[in-house]
């Protein structure tokens, strides 16, 4: 026991010297390197959203199929992140990040030259492997580099990327598609991805410890089947011919996915060396933060999927015009993330998260009132309000939850949050697209007697969008209730840090 205690103290001392070695100027190039790579990989989560209307026509597939280009990306990222909690203990920071960006670059090239939907989907999956490996490296590196009292601002900088990149994706996409075809969405990203590899090779330093724990193959299989089955089940709802949730395909994939996920959780609890340590959930604020973030991510990604479709198909805007509508909200969200990070350092999470959740619920209700007569200015206003609300919740809540964890749990805590955020985003997209699709079908089946035939497609789409945002409003109300229970956390005492380290040995 004394030897174990000494090992822990030695590790803590090493960490302390590591903090000193990486202070001030050495932190900046590492942070910039991570931000550049993260921006372009996360950007791809929504870069295709504006192009979906063109892709449906060019590739001759329905929306319920084309949405897999977005859903599969987030799903693979979500599946891979738990594995990355293991990989960051097998490989150095440099190896993980550079390997991730090389994979992302290869996937981008495959997408650019894809002859059809199947190859394009494969390219997206390869891209997602790169993103899934890179995200935990980024989050864990920030936790190691910055002490708790400075993490709010640092995480705010990362929030500028995590929130700004997917928010700005549709606008950049619309600008490109105004004069070029959808393949240029990948051709233009590729040089930046390669540049990120070069910069990382020059500037990125190793800040994590390589311990090489045992690889649990069964846990990898169970997590893949669990998350994959659940997302596939939600995605299949809109693909069925009227059966919806009662279709055997939907029911059985959800059952299999749920059982696999239960077995995965059970295995992590009983294992002496779990692939994904679930002990962070013993921290109440971490658990509360996780649920709150899941709701916010579902709202964000589903809205970024639904609005471009409505703007182009309902209001008949061009891709460029639709992108411009979403631009102010994206910019506002990006610039507010560092601000909310600093406000969190000063005032804690409640001052930001509670008003943010209330605003989110209100704006979800406002989206249910949007119709074919709604002006562009009003949609811009609603979108800006939503992005302000999300910036008030995301980084403060995430940082608050992670601050309660001992240092030994950082890789697992960041992996849990990133996994569930990505998977919930994938589920949100699939779930809300299925609601929209079924709502559109129901409207077509029973149209109002006074509906003009030429307006039926747009009116049906509007009805489906309304159904989706009504469900989104319910989720946002739940977020308001959860935010009321938030409390400001602080880093555990040294004794708790040592117990956590010993528990993992």
The model's confidence at residue 21, banded by pLDDT at 50, 70 and 90, is very low
CA distance 106 to 233: 29
Cα 118 to Cα 464: distance, rounded to the nearest angstrom: 28
Task: Say whether 484 sits in a helix, a strand or coil.
Answer: coil
- Residues 476-494 have a mean pLDDT of 82
Above 90 in pLDDT, residue 26? no
Q: Categorize the per-residue pLDDT at 22 as very low, low, confident or very high, splitting at 50, 70 and 90.
A: very low
Has residue 240 got a pLDDT over 90? no
Contact criterion met (CB below 8 Å) for 142 and 86: no
- How far apart CA 57 and CA 36 sit, in angstroms, is 33
> Which tens digits make up the pLDDT trace of 123-143?
989 988 888 777 777 777 777
Residue 346 clears pLDDT 90, i.e. is over it: no
| Lowest mean pLDDT, pick from 117-131, 196-210, 278-292, 487-501 | 487-501
Q: Express each pLDDT in 167-194 by its tens digit.
A: 677 777 778 887 888 888 888 888 888 8
Of 429, 67, 459, 442, the closest CA to residue 242 belongs to: 442
Would you say residue 38 has pLDDT above 70? yes
Of 61-75, 313-327, 452-466, least confident by mean pLDDT is 61-75
Query: What was the pLDDT predicted at 381?
Result: 94
pLDDT at 42 over 70: yes
State yes or no: pLDDT of 238 exceeds 60.
no
Instruction: Write out the DSSP string of 233-249.
Output: HHHHTTTSSS-GGGSHH
Please give the share of the chain, as a percent, with pLDDT higher than 90.
Answer: 10
Residue 386 has pLDDT above 60, yes or no: yes
Task: State residue 118 phi and psi, 5-degree precision.
Answer: -60, -45
What would the mean pLDDT of 258-265 be, rounded to a whole number?
A: 90
Cα 2 to Cα 16, 186, 198, 503, 504: the distances in Å are 21, 56, 45, 15, 16
Indicate the pTM of the whole model.
0.71
Q: How far apart are CA 118 and CA 466, in angstroms?
A: 31
Would the pLDDT of 23 be above 60? no
Going by pLDDT thresholds of 50, 70 and 90, the confidence category of residue 163 is: low
User: Of 176 and 239, which is predicted with more confidence?
Assistant: 176
What average pLDDT does this structure show over 73-91? 73
What is the distance in angstroms between the CA of the first residue and the CA of the last residue of the chain? 11
Structure letter (DSSP) for residue 492: P
Nearest CA among 80, 131, 482 for reference residue 296:
482
pLDDT of residue 81: 67
Model pLDDT for residues 394-448, shown as the tens digit of each residue: 888 888 888 888 877 877 787 788 778 777 877 787 788 778 888 888 888 787 7
* DSSP structure string for 315-333: S---HHHHHHHHHHHHHHH
The listed range with the strongest mean pLDDT (267-276, 389-398, 477-486) is 477-486
- Average predicted confidence (pLDDT) for the chain: 78
Is the model more confident about 223 or about 501?
A: 223
pLDDT at res. 8: 38
Of 36 and 382, more confident? 382
Residue with more model confidence, 383 or 175:
383
Given a cut of 80, is residue 47 above it in pLDDT? no
Q: Which of 104-108, 158-162, 222-226, 467-471 has the lowest mean pLDDT?
A: 158-162
DSSP 352-376: HHHHHHHHHHHHHHHHTT--TT--H
Structure token pair of residue 131: 């993103």
- Which of 488, 431, 3, 18 minimizes the C-alpha distance to 231? 431
Of 238, 177, 233, whose CA–CA distance to 49 is shortest? 177
Q: What share of the chain is helix, strand, coil (3-state, %, to 5)?
A: 80, 0, 20
**What token pair was written down for 253?**
């994939």
Q: Is the pLDDT of residue 284 over 90?
A: no
List Cβ<8 Å contacts ≥24 apart for 174-182: 174/50, 174/318, 174/319, 174/320, 174/321, 174/322, 174/323, 174/324, 175/320, 175/323, 177/50, 177/51, 177/54, 177/319, 177/320, 178/318, 178/319, 178/320, 181/54, 182/48, 182/51, 182/54, 182/55, 182/58
How far is residue 202 from each of residues 30, 195, 196, 198, measured CA to CA in Å?
10, 11, 10, 7
SS (H, E, C) 97-163: HHHHHHHHHHHHHHHHCCCCHHHHHHHHHHHHHHHHHHHHHHHHHHHHHCCHHHHHHHHHHHHHHHH
């Amino acid at each position: 026991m004394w030897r174990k205690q000494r090992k822990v103290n030695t590790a803590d001392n090493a960490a302390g010297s590591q903090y000193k070695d990486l202070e001030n100027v050495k932190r900046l190039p590492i942070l910039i390197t991570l931000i550049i790579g993260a921006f372009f990989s996360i950007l791809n989560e929504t870069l295709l959203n504006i192009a979906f209307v063109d892709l449906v026509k060019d590739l001759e597939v329905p929306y319920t199929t084309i949405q897999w280009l977005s859903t599969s990306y987030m799903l693979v990222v979500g599946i891979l992140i738990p594995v990355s909690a293991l990989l960051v203990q097998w490989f150095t920071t440099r190896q993980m990040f550079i390997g991730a960006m090389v994979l992302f670059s290869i996937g981008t090239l495959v997408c650019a030259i894809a002859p059809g939907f199947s190859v394009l989907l494969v390219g997206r999956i390869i891209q997602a492997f790169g993103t899934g490996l890179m995200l935990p490296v980024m989050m864990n590196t920030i936790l190691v580099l910055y002490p708790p009292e400075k993490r709010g601002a640092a995480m705010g900088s990362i929030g500028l990327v995590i929130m700004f990149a997917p928010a700005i994706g549709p606008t950049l996409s619309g600008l490109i598609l105004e004069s070029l075809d959808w393949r240029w969405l990948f051709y233009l990203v590729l040089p930046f991805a390669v540049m990120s590899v070069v910069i990382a090779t020059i500037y990125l330093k190793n800040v994590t410890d390589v311990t090489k724990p045992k690889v649990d193959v069964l846990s990898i299989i169970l997590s893949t089947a669990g998350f994959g089955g659940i997302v596939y089940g939600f995605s299949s709802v809109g693909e069925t011919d009227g059966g919806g949730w009662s279709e055997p395909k939907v029911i059985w994939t959800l059952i299999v996915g749920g059982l696999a996920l239960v077995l995965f959780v059970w295995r992590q609890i009983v294992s002496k060396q779990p692939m994904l340590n679930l002990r962070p959930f013993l921290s109440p604020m971490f658990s509360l933060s996780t649920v709150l973030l899941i709701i916010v991510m579902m709202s964000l990604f589903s809205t970024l999927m639904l609005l471009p479709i409505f703007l182009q198909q309902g209001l008949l805007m061009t891709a460029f015009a639709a992108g411009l509508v979403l631009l102010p909200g994206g910019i506002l969200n990006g610039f507010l993330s560092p601000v909310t990070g600093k406000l969190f350092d000063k005032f804690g999470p409640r001052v930001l998260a509670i008003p943010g959740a209330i605003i989110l619920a209100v704006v979800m209700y406002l989206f249910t009132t949007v119709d074919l007569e709604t002006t562009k200015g009003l949609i811009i206003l609603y979108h800006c309000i939503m992005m302000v609300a999300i910036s008030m919740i995301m980084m403060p809540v995430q940082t608050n939850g992670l601050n309660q964890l001992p240092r030994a749990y950082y890789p697992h805590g960041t992996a849990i949050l990133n996994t569930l955020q990505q998977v919930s985003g994938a589920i949100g997209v699939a779930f809300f697209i299925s609601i929209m699709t079924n709502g559109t079908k129901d409207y077509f089946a029973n149209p109002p007697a006074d509906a003009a035939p030429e307006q039926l497609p747009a009116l049906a789409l509007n009805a489906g969008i309304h159904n989706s945002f009504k469900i989104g409003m319910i989720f946002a109300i739940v977020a308001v209730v959860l935010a009321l229970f938030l409390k400001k956390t602080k880093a555990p005492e040294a004794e708790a840090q040592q117990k956590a380290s010993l528990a993992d040995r």
